[in-house]
């Protein structure tokens, strides 16, 4: 009895240990490996590898000619001591804040309004999405022209009709960043609105009916039903927007190049300048790592805060 | 519970509000037969004159705003592309104009080499899309259908890249292109430098895997019993059933790489290889006349816009269901 009871586990253990190549290949293992090869190669070279390399590079000094040498934390101390970093961080934070306060509600309002259409809603959708199709480089060239600070400039002419302006737009320190936010809102609102519209379709209509029977007006229904029902999507979109705005590059690079007087200098512009203007890849990766760590901490904090809000 | 499952449990936040990819069997009649649900405003609200009037006013204003902001810049670019420079500067808001400068477009196409760089953009967009498709389909098929024992680890590693801000790997990715580790080749100034990194798109893997998961297993079992290997199951069963989601990925990826600026600028320094998005800013800082610049802008915009006009429905549905995570 004991003999038969003891035997099977030992046998299976030995069988598992002995790896049978032909059986493994016949069971589909070979195919799985063949499918994995391109995937793993591409991810190792262009995704996982660079992330690890970035962490390593931030502790090294390299100029691509001599072999890299370890320099400890000096890249970090160099980057943190850079007098321009405070300004760039403040600018980036200011951009994120402006985009959050003025830009973020736009697609939500757009989505709620479009969702109430009973006819032509595809026309509205398509029109709203159009700016997302236009390549940013082309759009920025156009907007740069629209932002002409001259009184005959496009926006200034239009605002002149109602007695406003002329505004300096990108040419003044205190309005350059807001001008970029205005452009970014135009460029991004439509595609975000489409996501909200998809989310609005999942709001349970019984809730509206119940609220209506209880005598809630249209505004109160939006405030107490639509927005709370969209809560989770709003939280995710807000986090994605914050992460995106902290990594803003193309817009300030092409609109102002960081000027006037560094008013639109952002962290990513600094990273770009470290790496591709000064050739200091160590400093560039150190600042990248700092920014990524900050965004990671921000995401974790955000996750816990919003988790509490979304359960209560 | 595996690593991947845990990460996917954390992931719904990303795809919240997304209805699951519909298997193709349900497409078509579902959309048209179902009457549109009510929104905030009920049918009885709509009958009240005040609500009716307000709705009409708000919707008209919205339409005007959308036309001005959505269509306005495009129409303006179209107008400017066939106007003389002086008119563009002196009267930017002028509606009446004589389209007498068709030569602008020709100048931009040949003189400013927009034609050639547009060709490069097309090559880059198609190549990037192909590489995204190959890698993402292979990964999703592997993780959804073949399910090897080490699958969850791969899945976890791919999904983890979604949570990392792109900025960490940006500079080292450039150094990788300059000198590919182990291979010791430089991809700088080759299209591969743009094509290959485009393949590592974790978001598309997630979207595709979810779609593959929704395909009934019976189809694949049946094909297997008929003697089909994994490759045949992929090409004869899975891919034909996934046409809608593949179409969405192709569209979004083509437009996405059309818009790409920073990366091609870094890795393609040879003007003969540069896409139009890299060429345009240089044109603007150079001394070409404004009218030619605007013609170049118009030529850059028009192709994705036409693409959008044709596949509008797929775009909007794709962004609505699969959207959310950018990059």
Query: What ipTM did this prediction achieve?
Result: 0.83
Q: Would you call B181 an interface residue with chain A, using a CB distance cutoff of 8 Å?
A: yes
Which phi and psi angles does A70 have, rounded to 5°?
A: -75, 135
Q: Would you call B38 an interface residue with chain A, using a CB distance cutoff of 8 Å?
A: yes
In the predicted model, is pLDDT for residue A221 greater than 70?
A: yes
| Cα–Cα distance measured from residue B147 to residue A25, given in angstroms and rounded to the nearest whole number | 14
Which residues 191-210 on chain B approach chain A with CB closer than 8 angstroms?
196-197, 199-200, 202
Confidence of residue B99 (pLDDT cuts 50, 70, 90): low
| Cα–Cα distance measured from residue A92 to residue A264, given in angstroms and rounded to the nearest whole number | 8
What token pair was written down for A192? 């975000």
Q: Would you call A230 an interface residue with chain B, using a CB distance cutoff of 8 Å?
A: yes
Most confident of A25-39, A139-153, A280-294: A280-294
**Which residues of B are less than 8 Å from A202 in CB distance?**
17, 19
pLDDT at A18: 64
CA of B76: which chain A residue's CA is closest?
A142
In the predicted model, is pLDDT for residue B274 greater than 80?
A: yes
Q: Which stretch of A77-91, B276-290, B300-314 has the lowest confidence by average pLDDT? A: B276-290
Q: Would you call A276 an interface residue with chain B, using a CB distance cutoff of 8 Å?
A: yes
Residue that has been written with the tokens 């400093």 in this structure: A283
**Which residues of A are less than 8 Å from B148 in CB distance?**
28-29, 32-33, 36
pLDDT at A269: 93
Which residues 56-115 on chain B approach chain A with CB closer than 8 angstroms?
58-59, 62-63, 66-67, 69-71, 73-74, 76-77, 88-93
Q: Would you call A86 an interface residue with chain B, using a CB distance cutoff of 8 Å?
A: no
pLDDT tens-digit profile of B150-202?
Answer: 889 999 999 888 888 878 888 899 988 988 888 888 888 899 999 999 999 88
Which residues 207-266 on chain B approach chain A with CB closer than 8 angstroms?
229-231, 255, 258-259, 261-262, 266
Contact A240 B90 (CB under 8 A): no
Q: Does domain B116-322 have CATH number 3.20.20.140?
A: no
**Which residues of A are less than 8 Å from B88 in CB distance?**
145
Confidence of residue A6 (pLDDT cuts 50, 70, 90): very low
In the predicted model, is pLDDT for residue A309 greater than 80?
A: no
| Cα–Cα distance measured from residue A97 to residue A93, given in angstroms and rounded to the nearest whole number | 6
pLDDT at A91: 93
Chain A: give the shortest CA distance to residue B267, in Å: 11
Contact B255 A236 (CB under 8 A): no
| Average pLDDT of chain B to the nearest whole number | 80
pLDDT tens-digit profile of A79-113?
Answer: 899 888 999 999 999 999 999 999 999 999 999 99
Confidence of residue A225 (pLDDT cuts 50, 70, 90): confident
Q: Which fold has domain A74-311?
A: MetI-like fold (1.10.3720)
pLDDT at A16: 55
**Which residues of A are less than 8 Å from B58 in CB distance?**
113
| Cα–Cα distance measured from residue B184 to residue A267, given in angstroms and rounded to the nearest whole number | 32
> Are the C-beta atoms of residues A267 and A88 closer than 8 Å to each other?
yes
pLDDT at A257: 86
Confidence of residue A215 (pLDDT cuts 50, 70, 90): confident
Q: Would you call A302 an interface residue with chain B, using a CB distance cutoff of 8 Å?
A: no
Chain B: give the shortest CA distance to residue A154, in Å: 6
Chosen for mutation from B137, B319, B326, B327 (greatest number of chain A CBs closer than 10 Å) is B319
Contact B168 A292 (CB under 8 A): yes
Top pLDDT among A311 and A213 is at A213
Q: How far apart are the first and last CA of chain A?
A: 59
CA of B11: which chain A residue's CA is closest?
A236
Tell me the pTM.
0.83
Contact B284 A276 (CB under 8 A): no
What token pair was written down for B30? 């579902």
pLDDT at B128: 95
User: Percentage of residues in chain B with pLDDT exceeding 70?
Assistant: 82
Structural domain boundaries in chain B: 116-322
**Which residues of A are less than 8 Å from B280 in CB distance?**
137-138, 141
Cα A25–Cα A26–Cα A27 angle in degrees, nearest 5:
90
Residue that has been written with the tokens 């519209």 in this structure: A197
Q: Residue B173: which H helix or E strand, with range? A: helix B167-178
**Which residues of A are less than 8 Å from B165 in CB distance?**
243, 246-247, 291-292, 295-296
B308: nearest CB among A116, A133, A276: A133
In the predicted model, is pLDDT for residue B266 greater than 70?
A: yes
pLDDT at B3: 37
pLDDT at B10: 36
CA of B254: which chain A residue's CA is closest?
A133
**Which residues of A are less than 8 Å from B197 in CB distance?**
42, 46
pLDDT at B36: 55
In the predicted model, is pLDDT for residue A250 greater than 80?
A: yes
Contact A45 B181 (CB under 8 A): yes
pLDDT tens-digit profile of A143-187?
Answer: 988 888 887 788 888 888 888 878 888 888 888 999 999 999 999
| Cα–Cα distance measured from residue A177 to residue A266, given in angstroms and rounded to the nearest whole number | 10
pLDDT at A179: 92
Contact B319 A195 (CB under 8 A): yes
pLDDT tens-digit profile of B306-318?
Answer: 989 898 888 887 7
pLDDT at B123: 94
In the predicted model, is pLDDT for residue B235 greater than 70?
A: yes
Chosen for mutation from A19, A45, A203 (greatest number of chain B CBs closer than 10 Å) is A45
DSSP character at residue B108: I
Q: Would you call A114 an interface residue with chain B, using a CB distance cutoff of 8 Å?
A: yes
Top pLDDT among A97 and A258 is at A97
**Which residues of A are less than 8 Å from B141 in CB distance?**
35
> Are the C-beta atoms of residues A189 and A103 closer than 8 Å to each other?
yes
pLDDT tens-digit profile of B4-41?
Answer: 333 333 333 333 333 444 444 444 444 444 445 677 88
Contact A42 B131 (CB under 8 A): yes
Contact A137 B148 (CB under 8 A): no
Chain B: give the shortest CA distance to residue A115, in Å: 7
A158: nearest CB among B93, B255, B319: B93
| Average pLDDT of chain A to the nearest whole number | 85
């Amino acid at each position: 009895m004991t003999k038969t009871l003891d035997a099977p586990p030992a046998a299976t253990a030995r069988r598992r240990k002995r790896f049978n190549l032909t059986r493994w290949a016949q069971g589909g293992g070979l195919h799985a490996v063949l499918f994995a090869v391109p995937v793993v190669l591409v991810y190792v070279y262009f995704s996982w590898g660079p992330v690890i390399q970035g962490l390593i590079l931030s502790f090294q000094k390299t100029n691509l000619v001599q072999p890299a040498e370890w320099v400890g934390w000096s890249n970090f101390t160099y980057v943190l001591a850079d007098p321009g970093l405070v300004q760039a961080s403040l600018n980036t934070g200011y951009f994120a804040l402006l985009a959050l306060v003025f830009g973020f509600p736009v697609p939500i309002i757009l989505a709620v309004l479009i969702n109430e259409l009973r006819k032509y809603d595809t026309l509205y959708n398509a029109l709203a999405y159009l700016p997302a199709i236009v390549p940013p480089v082309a759009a920025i060239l156009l907007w740069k022209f629209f932002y002409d600070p001259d009184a005959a400039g496009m926006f200034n002419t239009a605002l002149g009709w109602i007695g406003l302006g002329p505004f300096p737009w990108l040419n003044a320190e205190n309005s350059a960043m807001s001008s970029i936010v205005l452009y970014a809102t135009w460029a991004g609102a439509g595609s975000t609105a489409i996501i909200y519209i998809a989310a609005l379709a999942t709001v349970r209509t019984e809730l509206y009916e119940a609220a209506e029977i209880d005598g809630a007006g249209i505004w109160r229904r939006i405030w107490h039903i639509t927005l709370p029902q969209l809560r989770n999507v709003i939280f995710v979109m807000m986090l994605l927007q914050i992460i995106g705005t902290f990594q803003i590059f193309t817009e300030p690079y092409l609109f102002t190049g960081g000027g006037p007087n560094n008013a639109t200098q952002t962290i990513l512009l600094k990273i770009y300048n470290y790496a591709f203007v000064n050739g200091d890849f160590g400093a560039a990766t150190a600042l990248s790592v700092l920014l990524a760590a900050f965004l990671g901490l921000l995401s974790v904090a955000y996750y816990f805060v919003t988790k509490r809000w979304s359960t209560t | 519970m595996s690593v991947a499952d845990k990460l996917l449990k954390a992931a719904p936040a990303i795809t919240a509000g997304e209805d699951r990819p519909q298997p193709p069997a349900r497409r078509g009649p579902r959309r048209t037969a179902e009457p549109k649900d009510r929104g905030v405003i009920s049918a009885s609200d709509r009958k009240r004159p005040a609500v009716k009037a307000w709705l009409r006013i708000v919707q008209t204003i919205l339409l005007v705003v959308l036309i001005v902001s959505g269509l306005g810049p495009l129409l303006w670019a179209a107008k400017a592309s066939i106007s003389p420079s002086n008119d563009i500067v002196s009267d930017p808001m002028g509606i009446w104009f004589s389209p007498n400068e068709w030569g602008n477009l020709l100048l931009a196409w040949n003189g400013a080499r927009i034609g050639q760089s547009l060709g490069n953009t097309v090559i880059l967009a198609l190549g990037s899309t192909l590489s995204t498709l190959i890698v993402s389909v292979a990964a999703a098929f592997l993780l959804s259908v073949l399910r090897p024992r080490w699958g969850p680890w791969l899945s976890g590693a791919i999904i983890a890249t979604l949570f990392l801000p792109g900025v960490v790997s940006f500079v080292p990715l450039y150094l990788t292109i300059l000198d590919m580790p182990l291979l010791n080749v430089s991809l700088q100034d080759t299209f591969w430098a743009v094509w290959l990194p485009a393949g590592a798109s974790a978001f598309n893997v997630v979207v595709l895997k979810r779609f593959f998961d929704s395909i009934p297993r019976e189809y694949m079992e049946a094909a297997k019993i008929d003697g089909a290997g994994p490759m045949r199951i992929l090409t004869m069963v899975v891919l034909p059933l996934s046409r809608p989601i593949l179409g969405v990925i192709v569209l979004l990826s083509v437009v996405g790489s059309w818009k790409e600026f920073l990366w091609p600028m870094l890795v393609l320094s040879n003007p003969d290889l540069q896409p139009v998005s890299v060429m345009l800013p240089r044109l603007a800082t150079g001394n070409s006349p404004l009218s030619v610049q605007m013609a170049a802008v118009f030529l850059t915009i028009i192709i994705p816009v036409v693409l959008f006009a044709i596949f509008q429905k797929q775009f909007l549905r794709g962004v609505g269901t699969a959207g959310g995570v950018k990059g």
